[in-house]
A and B are shown apart, each in its own frame.
Chain A
Amino acid sequence: MRRRRFLTAAAGAAAAAATGVATGCGNLHSNDPDVLTFMFRGSTEERDVFSRAVDVFVQRTGYQVDIISTSADQYATKLQTAILGNSTPDVFYLEPPRTMAYVTNGVLADLSEYVEATDLPVDDIWPAGLDLYRFDGEKIGDGPLYAMPKDLGPFSFGYNKTLFEEMGVEPPDKDVPLDWDEFLARCTALTGDRDGDGTTDAWGTSVNIGAEIHSYVWSNGGDWVDADRRTVTVDTPEFAEALQYIVDLREKHGVTPSINETEGLDGYQRWLRGQIGFFPVAPWDLTLYRTLDFEFDLCPYPAGATGTSATNIGSLGIGVSATSRRPDRAAELAMFLACDPEAQAIIVGEGQTIPNTRSHAAKWVEETDVEPQNKQEYIDIVEDYGRFVPNAMTYTPEWLDAFYTNLQPVLEGRQDVGEYLEATQPVMQGFLDTGYEQLRIDQKANS
C-alpha cells in the first residue's frame, strides 16, 4: 500500500517533469539571427549596471539583445566550449591574454570598418586602450582592431591620510614620486605601535606580490620580456634589485607585516582596518574604500633607478564573434558600451571604473567632493606611466604563471633572489617559446 502511494507520487512527479521539460526548453529563439547575444561576467551589481546600459541601446536601436551571464571563474571555459561548439555569442568579454590566440584562430571579427563608419566618439577612447586590442599577426599594438576596450583599470598607489596624520609622517607629493630610500624612510616612520600594547599595529605598506611587482621592476629599469617579447629578462640585475627591495621591506626592515602576521590577516584586510600606510587603490576598490573609517588618496608609486613611476593597467575587451550573423549590429553594441556618453555615464556612475573616453575623464577628474581627490593620478597612469603586463601580449600566459609557482620561499627569505631568478628564467623562456611555436602552428593551420 505504501508502495502504491509511492508509485503514484513518482508518476505525478514524472508527469510534472515532462511538462516542465517541454516548457523549460530554453531560448530556442537564440537561433533567431536578429537577436544579439551578449555574454557577460561580473557581480550582481555590475550585471545590473550593464543591463541598464544595454536597455538604453535596445531602446535607441530597436535591436533585441539577450544577456548571458556567467560566473567569473568559469567564464573562460564556457566561452571556449561555446566557440568549439559553434555557438559563440555575438558579443562577449575578451580577456587580453587571449587576444592573440582568438585572432589567430578566427574567433574575433575585425572591427576596423565599423569603427571608421560609426558616429560614436570612438576617437575619444584612450589610445592605449584601443591599441591593446590591435594585432597584426606579429605583435599586439599594431594592425586591425579586434575588440573595443570595455575599460582601463589603472593600478594606482594610494595612502591612508588619517594614519599619516596620526603617525606624524609627511604625506607623499601627488605628482613627484618618492625614490626608494625616501619611501623606505616614510614606511619606517609609519611602522609602530600606536596603542601602546607592545605589538606593532601599523605598517608602512604591504606588498601584494602578484599585482605590485610590476611597478617596482619597471620603475627600476627591469622588465619581464625584451622589446620583441621573445626573451624573458627576469635574470637582469635591475629585476633582481627590484625583487630584493620588495623582499627586504619585510625581511630586513620590517615595514610590512611579517609572514605570521600576514597569515592571520593579510595585507588587504589590514588596510581595510586602517593599519597600512601605503597601499594600491584601483578603481574597482573605490566603492568599498569610500565606506572605510579613514581618508585615502592617490599618489605615484615610488620610483626606482629610472626616477619615474610605473605601474600596470588592467583591461577587459568587448569582442565581436567572427561567426556572428549580424556583425554590424554586434559591433554597434560593442562600440556603444565602450564610448557612448549615455552608456558611459551609467557604467562610470556605478563607481568601479574610470571613464573610457578622454573628454569624460577630463570632467570626472574635477569632481573633488568624492574621494579620491587626486583622480588625476589615474589619468596620468593611463596616459603616461602605466603599462600593460606582458602576458596580455603573448600567445599564452603560462610563462608568467611559472614565475609565481615557487616564489614563496624567496619572499620568505629562505632562498636567494639571484639564484631563483637564474633558475626560473629558463623555465619561463621554455614556456614562452612553446607559446610562439604554437602561434606559428596555428597561423599555418588557419591560413
Chain B
Amino acid sequence: MATTSAVPTAPLQTAGVEPDAARPRRRRGESRFRSPADVIVFVVLCAGAVTMLLPLAWMISTSLKTQESVFAIPPQWIPNPVEWGNYARIWEAGPILSGIRNSAIVSLTVIVVGTITSSYAAYGFSKMRIPGKNALFLALLGGIMIPFPALMIPTFMLFSRIGWVDTLLPLIVPGLFGNLMMVFFLRQYLMSVPDSLIEAAVIDGATHPQIFWRIVLPLIRPAIAAQVILWFMGTWNDYLGPIIYLNSENVHTLQLVIANFNATYAVQTDYPLIMAASLVALVPVLAVFLIFQRQIIESIALTGSKG
C-alpha cells in the first residue's frame, strides 16, 4: 500500500484515487438508493432520528411557553400562547452576550493551541522512539482517572495563591498543555498509519516537525476534526469549573449565566427561560459540528491513496 505513495507529496495526487472522490460534493450516486438494503436502513434511521429529536423538540416547545403552562396537564406540545418573548428576555435576564464572549475566548484559545500540542504529542507517543514513553503515557492516563473532587480543592488553592481566581485563566491554561483524550485517540488512529511513510521521509532528509505537519497531519484530519468537535463541546458546556473560579459577572461563561437562572426553590425556576437560553447556547456547538464534520466526509478522497 505504501508503495504507491513513497514520495511524500500531497496524497491527493497519487494514482489510485477514484475520479469521483476528487469532486467535493453531490456525487451522482448520493441522491439515489442503491439497493433495497439502503431503503431499509433509511427507514430505520428515520425512526431513530425521531427518538433523538423528541426530547429536543420538547425543549423548543418549552422555551416558547409561559411559566404556568410548563406544568399543564395534559402536556402541551404546541405552546398556547406562544411566548416568543422568552427569547427576548434571555438577553436581559443575565449577561448572556458577555457570557458568549467569555465562553468563546476560553474555547477558541484552548482548542487552537491545545490541538496543536495534543497532535504533536500523539505523534510523539505513537511514532517516535522515546525511552519509557509507554509507561509515561499510562501515567498521564492515570491523571484523568482521579475523580475530580479530589483534585478540585488543591487545584483551587494553587490558583488562588497565584491570584488567578475570578479570571478566565484557570479555565484556559491547563487546556493549553493538551487534552489527554485527544492525545489518546490520535495515538490510536496513528497506529494505522504505516511507519514506512515516515521512514521514507526521514531518509529524504525531512525534520520531524516537518514530517508531522506535511505528511502525517493530513492523514489524521478526520480524527482531529472529530476530537475538535468533542473538545469544543466539552469546554463550551463546562460548568463546574466556571462555578468555582468565576465570581464577577463580567467573566461568567455562558453556561454559568444559564445556571444562575435557577431559583432557590425549583418551583420558581423559570424553565422556559432556561430552555430558551440553552437552545441559544447550542448554536455555536452545532456550527462547529457542521463545519468540522465536513472534514470527516472529505477525507473519503484520502482513503483512495491508502489503498
State which of A17, A78, A84, A268 has its C-beta within 8 Å of the C-beta of B157: A84
- Kindly state the separation between the CA atoms of A42 and B260 in the bound complex, as whole angstroms: 8
> When the two chains form their complex, are residues A26 and B246 in contact, meaning their CB atoms are under 8 A apart?
yes
- Kindly state the separation between the CA atoms of A18 and B104 in the bound complex, as whole angstroms: 11
> When the two chains form their complex, are residues B153 and A81 in contact, meaning their CB atoms are under 8 A apart?
yes
Taking A68-B248, A74-B243, A85-B157 as contacts, is the C-beta distance between A288 and B267 under 8 angstroms?
yes
Quote the shortest CB–CB distance from B301 to chain A (angstroms).
Answer: 12
Taking A14-B113, A84-B156, A265-B73 as contacts, is the C-beta distance between A69 and B169 under 8 angstroms?
no
> When the two chains form their complex, are residues B248 and A17 in contact, meaning their CB atoms are under 8 A apart?
no
Quote the shortest CB–CB distance from B257 to chain A (angstroms).
Answer: 10
> When the two chains form their complex, are residues A37 and B247 in contact, meaning their CB atoms are under 8 A apart?
yes
> When the two chains form their complex, are residues B244 and A77 in contact, meaning their CB atoms are under 8 A apart?
yes
Instruction: Chain B residues near A87: list those with CB within 8 A.
Output: 160, 165-166
Instruction: Chain A residues near B273: list those with CB within 8 A.
Output: 44
B249 proximal to A (CB < 8 A): yes
A10 proximal to B (CB < 8 A): yes
Q: Convert B249-268 into 0s and 1s, putting 1 for each residue whose CB lies closer than 8 angstroms to a CB of A.
A: 11100001001111111011
Taking A74-B243, A87-B165, A284-B268 as contacts, is the C-beta distance between A42 and B250 under 8 angstroms?
no
> When the two chains form their complex, are residues A24 and B168 in contact, meaning their CB atoms are under 8 A apart?
yes
Instruction: Chain B residues near A273: list those with CB within 8 A.
Output: 73
> When the two chains form their complex, are residues B108 and A26 in contact, meaning their CB atoms are under 8 A apart?
no
> When the two chains form their complex, are residues B160 and A71 in contact, meaning their CB atoms are under 8 A apart?
no
> When the two chains form their complex, are residues B112 and A81 in contact, meaning their CB atoms are under 8 A apart?
no
Q: Convert A231-265 into 0s and 1s, putting 1 for each residue whose CB lies closer than 8 angstroms to a CB of B.
A: 00000000000000000000000000000000001
> When the two chains form their complex, are residues B168 and A25 in contact, meaning their CB atoms are under 8 A apart?
yes
> When the two chains form their complex, are residues B248 and A44 in contact, meaning their CB atoms are under 8 A apart?
no
> When the two chains form their complex, are residues B243 and A46 in contact, meaning their CB atoms are under 8 A apart?
no
Quote the shortest CB–CB distance from A433 to chain B (angstroms).
Answer: 25
Interface of B is mostly: helix
Which among A69, A85, A268, A272 has the highest number of chain B CB atoms within 10 Å?
A: A85
Taking A66-B248, A70-B243 as contacts, is the C-beta distance between A26 and B261 under 8 angstroms?
no
> When the two chains form their complex, are residues B262 and A72 in contact, meaning their CB atoms are under 8 A apart?
yes
Taking A20-B105, A68-B247, A68-B248 as contacts, is the C-beta distance between A43 and B263 under 8 angstroms?
yes
Q: Convert B88-104 into 0s and 1s, putting 1 for each residue whose CB lies closer than 8 angstroms to a CB of A.
A: 00000110000001101
Q: Convert B15-49 into 0s and 1s, putting 1 for each residue whose CB lies closer than 8 angstroms to a CB of A.
A: 00000000000000000000000000000000000
Chain A residue nearest to B106 (CB atoms) is A17
> When the two chains form their complex, are residues A26 and B251 in contact, meaning their CB atoms are under 8 A apart?
yes
> When the two chains form their complex, are residues B263 and A21 in contact, meaning their CB atoms are under 8 A apart?
no
- Kindly state the separation between the CA atoms of A10 and B273 in the bound complex, as whole angstroms: 33
Number of A-B contacts (CB under 8 A): 138
Instruction: Chain A residues near B218: list those with CB within 8 A.
Output: 3
Chain B residue nearest to A14 (CB atoms) is B112
- Kindly state the separation between the CA atoms of A298 and B244 in the bound complex, as whole angstroms: 41
Quote the shortest CB–CB distance from B158 to chain A (angstroms).
Answer: 9
A326 proximal to B (CB < 8 A): no
State which of A14, A66, A68 has its C-beta within 8 Å of the C-beta of B108: A14
> When the two chains form their complex, are residues A43 and B109 in contact, meaning their CB atoms are under 8 A apart?
no
Instruction: Chain B residues near A405: list those with CB within 8 A.
Output: none
Q: Convert A66-94 into 0s and 1s, putting 1 for each residue whose CB lies closer than 8 angstroms to a CB of B.
A: 10111111100110010011110100000
Number of residues from A at the complex interface, CB < 8 A: 50
Instruction: Chain B residues near A77: list those with CB within 8 A.
Output: 243-244
> When the two chains form their complex, are residues A86 and B167 in contact, meaning their CB atoms are under 8 A apart?
no
- In chain B, positions 40-88 with a C-beta closer than 8 Å to chain A are 68, 71, 73
Instruction: Chain B residues near A445: list those with CB within 8 A.
Output: none
A423 proximal to B (CB < 8 A): no
A16 proximal to B (CB < 8 A): yes
Chain A residue nearest to B107 (CB atoms) is A17
> When the two chains form their complex, are residues A26 and B262 in contact, meaning their CB atoms are under 8 A apart?
no
B238 proximal to A (CB < 8 A): no
- In chain A, positions 34-75 with a C-beta closer than 8 Å to chain B are 37, 39, 41-47, 66, 68-74
> When the two chains form their complex, are residues B248 and A27 in contact, meaning their CB atoms are under 8 A apart?
yes
Q: Convert A257-293 into 0s and 1s, putting 1 for each residue whose CB lies closer than 8 angstroms to a CB of B.
A: 0000000010011001100000000001100100100
Instruction: Chain B residues near A27: list those with CB within 8 A.
Output: 166, 247-248, 250-251
Chain B interface residues (CB < 8 Å from chain A): 68, 71, 73, 93-94, 101-102, 104-105, 108-109, 112-113, 152-153, 156-157, 159-161, 163, 165-169, 172, 218, 240, 243-244, 246-251, 256, 259-265, 267-270, 273
Closest 6 CB pairs of A and B: A43-B263, A85-B160, A17-B109, A20-B105, A26-B167, A26-B166
Can you list 23 A-B contacts with CB-CB less than 8 angstroms, sorted by A residue number? A17-B112, A18-B109, A24-B102, A25-B167, A25-B251, A26-B168, A27-B247, A27-B251, A28-B163, A30-B248, A42-B263, A42-B264, A43-B262, A46-B264, A47-B260, A70-B243, A71-B243, A71-B260, A72-B264, A74-B240, A81-B152, A85-B165, A86-B160
Chain A interface residues (CB < 8 Å from chain B): 3, 10, 13-14, 16-18, 20-21, 24-28, 30-31, 37, 39, 41-47, 66, 68-74, 77-78, 81, 84-87, 89, 265, 268-269, 272-273, 284-285, 288, 291
